[in-house]
Structures are given as structure tokens and as C-alpha cells.
Amino acid sequence: MPAPTGKRILVYGVTGSGKSTLAARIGARLGLPYHSVDDLTWEPGWVQVPVEEQRRRMTEVCAGDTWVIDAAYGSWTDIPLARADLVIGLDYPRWVSLSRLIRRTVARWITRTPICNGNVESLRTLFGKDGLVAFHFQSFPRKRRRMRQWQTDPELPPVLLFRSPADAERWLRAVISPS
């Protein structure tokens, strides 16, 4: 029996869990357009797009018949949830997502790899007062709780919670690409 899939998929998880990587792989595997939420919410110079514009952009993406997105910011979570056929929650232990976050950001810092519309990460974006590590610790319990609540809510699309990267890999291998 094939693994459950959908045509509109939201990949959700804590900062550093691997949402973008998995979402891009799902899109490629299923032939669905992948949309990086960070590219839709950050402009060059690390200027955050105003919330109203973020909502407009997400409404436009989610109006499509097919998509995979890699996050759902609290200010517009309602938009993808209203249209998704499947939510994939990366409910990994903190050490997994935190170690991935630090490794990824340090590697991007060293190589000066541009992300989010040409922005480049720095040690400040990682370890600063408002940096990624601080955000990871602040948002971790809230995001985990949200995923688990979604899974039990019959009004929402099905939610697959993966507790380890190996669980996500097994599911991805079981997904049969449409012909």
C-alpha cells in the first residue's frame, strides 16, 4: 500500500528540523511545486516582509491546485491549513533539530551561501539575542504542541508526525511518484 500523499502539502516543524530540505525533496518526488516560505517572507538585507504582504503571498501560493510549502508562520497558519490535503510534522527531539540548525548555519556562514533572496547568514544570525538559536529555544515547545494538537483535530487535514529523520526517510521512500 502506498504511503499517504497529497497535492497540497505543508511541512511543519521546529527551527532547524529540516523542513525546507524535506519539502523540496517531496516536491521533486511527487512533481509538485515547492515554495520556500523564507523566500516569501524575507527581502534582501534581512528585511522582513510586512505581515499583510506575507498573507497575500501565502494566499496566492495556496490558491494553487498543487504545492509544497516548508513552514507556517503563526500570522498566516490559517491559510495553508485551510487548503492542505496533508500536513507533515517533524516532531524531532531538540538535540536533532538544534544540531542540524547549528551545522547548517555555520556551513552557510563559512561558504557565504546566499539564502532568502540573497541574504547571508552570520554568527550573529545564529547566536545573537534575536538569532536562530534563541528563536529555536523560544519556539520549540509551542511548535511541538501545535503539531500534536493538529494531529488530533478532526477539522484539519491528516497530519503525519515523524519522530525521527529515519521515520521521514522511510515515508519518503514509500511515496510512489505519479506516472
Where the chain has pLDDT below 50, the residues are 1-2, 177-179
CB 97 within 8 A of CB 136: yes
| Domains observed in the chain | 8-174 (3.40.50.300)
According to the model, what pLDDT value does residue 1 have?
Answer: 40
Q: pLDDT digits over 15-61, tens only?
A: 999 999 999 999 999 999 999 999 999 999 999 999 999 999 999 99
CB 27 within 8 A of CB 51: no
Report the chain's C-alpha Rg in angstroms: 16
Q: What is the pTM of this model?
A: 0.92
According to the model, what pLDDT value does residue 176 have?
Answer: 59
According to the model, what pLDDT value does residue 123 have?
Answer: 87
CB 130 within 8 A of CB 138: no
According to the model, what pLDDT value does residue 178 have?
Answer: 47
* Nine cell digits for residue 33: 511545486
For strands 114-115 and 119-120, give the pairing: antiparallel
